[in-house]
Structure 1
Amino acid sequence: MRRLPLALALSALLPFVALAQAEPAAKGTKYRSAKEIIDAAPDSAWRDLDPANTLYMELPAGRVVIELAPGFAPEHVANIKTMAKGGFWDGTSIYRAQDNFVVQFGDVDADDAAKAKKHPAGTKEKLPAEFTRKGPARFDRLKDKDGWAPQVGFTDGFAVGHDPAKKETWIAHCYGALGAGRNNAPDSSIGAELYVVIGQAPRALDKQLTMVGRVVQGMSLLSATPRGPEPMGFYEDPAQRAPITAIRLASDVPAAERTNLQILRTDSQAFIDATEARRNRKDDFYTIPAGHIDLCNVPLPVRTKK
């Protein structure tokens, strides 16, 4: 089981929209908060979650909705879909909750050949490391400096770092990011053991693990998971593990039982303006606008489809 510590000038070929290019407010125009901007966003600024790339993690306390990232980790996502269709995670658990770091889930007995849960037919038992991707075709860039990447922004709705010299992009370890646990070997993950960031963004892990998606709804259910003991948060008492009823692809769930969500497009003017409003708060409480925003402090607005 992949349970070792997890803490072990843009290219001309890369078109982008600079998220800093918010439309200037007319003189005398009232400051609008990010919420006001998002609430007023037109329907055209929103995109539907693709049921074929959406997971429902069913917990006794409710549903966690996860958007997968096939554009960044196609082989891992394909494996995850195979395992979800085969019911691999049904009846497993969240067996680790490390404070200010991650929750981790899967088969707690995966390292014991006599007890390990069999992977569904079609599961690949060896995958390449998918830490970065080339390109991509579109990158919605933030103007803000970052300590972990030459450039940061959004691709396919995911918070990413980008290196224009290497033409590489990767999903950042922001709150809610979903990654595939591994052992020391870079290619030792297959997507069976997964983790979600529940604390301060551990960006030192960027480009060290394969990132496969992010939670879009239900983070409160994961972040409220009781913490396991020091140093790593693995539960010593099996009774403390949080049971997982099922993990299914939304496309395999009857339409009437789906959670129909939409995400604000990161190339929309509403997203650009809302990000600028967060970067430079001008309401009565803030005396000095920050003039800066951290990548992982830019939330991706989500709404129920109208």
Structure 2
Amino acid sequence: MKHPIVPALAACLTAAAAIAQPAAPAAAPSPGEVIAAAPAADWQAIPAADILLLEFAGNRRVVLQLAPAFAPTHVANIRALVKDGWFPRHAQIVRVQENYVVQWGDPTEKAPIPAAIVARPADGYEQPGKPANFTALPWPDAYGAVVGHAGGWPVATDGQAHWLPHCPGMLGVGRNMAPDTGTGAELYVVIGHGPRHLDRNIALVGRVLEGIEHLSALPRGTAALGMYDRPEQRIPLVSARLAADLPPAEQPRFQVLVGQSLATWAGVRANRRDAFFNRPAGGADICNLMPPLRRTPQAK
């Protein structure tokens, strides 16, 4: 004979168990969700004077940001070369090395450099002290420096000096053997895994904002170091302009994430707990934490 209290007791125990069972934790926000929720105050405008617009043959348009705070003399040289019209007259892509760089400059290395260009600038390798408004990451860096962000840039420091790291998309200055430091007439963009061993050995002067696919998808050079050994392989640089020299309505506008939103984004990117991930990594390389960028509407 069934006792009528048994089903009722079972139902009570089931309900109690349901109440006692902790709720599954809500999924943490993804990096994309952090970016989408960032307030306007955490988006820093990139000055038009620092935006360099390049067009290579074949409608390959690349937009770069120059970094005068880290390489003032090199950046001044690049601006002077642009205003002189030197790049369209002389520069071509001469090197595309797999998992490394795309490089452009004068293939003859004989084109005269404008008189205003400073030879062998000493900057672009490192700057003294710590950068302003630097926020360090809590994870170690394989190259022996503390890394973090300052002014919307990835930065490394040893406490005595600071420098930009060689991450994908960074813009560097080609040079010959020291004491040569380059003039800015020969430039390269990192298209592979970050070659951090180049940090403080070659000047870094900026980064790609838009259009890196036009560089990274180029045919690889087959000569040593990825050089194009036949003239017909080289790709001319047909236009080089500074955004500040364009009418306001034609100036491209970009912003970079800074402030608390950048710190939150870096934390969730290094420790992914959103639905797709099973295990948070517990850290991230600075080259995986390049500050997010976005294009914004042009002025009317």
* The two structures share one fold, judged by TM-score above 0.5: yes
Q: Deviations for 1:80-112, whole angstroms, at most 9, x for unmatched residues?
A: 1100111111142111000000011111111xx
Deviations 1:189-229 (A, max 9, x none): 11111111000000001010111111111111111111101
Find the partner of 1:222 among 215, 223, 231: 215
Question: Identity percentage over the alignment?
Answer: 42
Which residues of structure 2 form unaligned runs of 5+? 1-23
In the TM superposition, what is the alpha-carbon distance from 1:178 to its structure 2 partner? 0.8
Q: Please point out which of 276, 281, 293 is paired with 2:267.
A: 276
Structure 1 residue aligned with 2:36: 39
Q: Is the partner of 1:245 in helix, strand or coil?
A: strand
Q: Kindly provide the CA deviation profile for residues 157-183 of structure 1, in whole angstroms up to 9, marking residues without a partner as x.
A: 22121001xx10011000011111111
Structure 1 residues 168 and 244: alpha-carbon distance in aligned structure 2, compared to 1, 3 A threshold: same
Q: 2:251 aligns with which of 258, 283, 291?
A: 258
Contact 1:58 1:244 in 2 (8 A): yes
| Structure 1 unaligned residues grouped into runs of 5+ | 1-26, 111-115
Give the C-alpha shift of residue 235 in structure 1.
0.3
User: Is residue 141 of structure 2 the alignment partner of residue 143 of structure 1?
Assistant: no
The answer to which of 44-53 and 253-262 deviates more is 253-262
Asked if 2 retains the 8 angstrom alpha-carbon contact of 1:100 and 1:200, the reply is yes
Q: Deviations over 1:131-175 (max 9, x none)?
A: 1101222212111111113200122322121001xx100110000
Please name the residue that 2:148 is paired with.
153
Task: Give the whole-Å Cα distance in 1 for the aligned partners of 2:78 and 2:174.
Answer: 13
* Shift in Å, 1:125: 3.1
Where do 4+ consecutive residues of structure 1 move more than 3 Å? 27-30
- State the match for 1:287 in structure 2: 278
- Distance 1:63-1:185 versus aligned 2 partners, 3 A rule: same
1:120 to 2:111 alignment? no
CA root-mean-square deviation? 1.7
Tell me: CA distance 1:188–1:150, structure 2 relative to 1, closer, same or farther (3 Å).
closer
Distance 1:243 1:150, change over 3 A: same
- Counterpart of 1:134 (choices 128, 131, 134) is 128
TM-score by length of 1: 0.84
Q: Paired residue for 1:55, among 52, 56, 59?
A: 52
Higher helix share: 2
Q: How does 1:1-306 map to 2 (within 5 A)?
A: 28-59=25-56, 60-91=58-89, 92-110=91-109, 116-135=110-129, 136-164=131-159, 167-265=160-258, 268-306=259-297
> Aligned to 1:188, what secondary structure does the other structure show?
coil
CA distance in 2, matches of 1:100, 1:47: 31
Q: Structure 1 residues 89-98 or 203-212, which shifts more?
A: 89-98
- In the alignment of these two chains, the number of paired residues is 271
Contact 1:129 1:186 in 2 (8 A): no
Q: TM-score, normalised by structure 2?
A: 0.85
Structure-1 separation of matches of 2:231 and 2:223 = 16
Shift of 1:297: 0.5
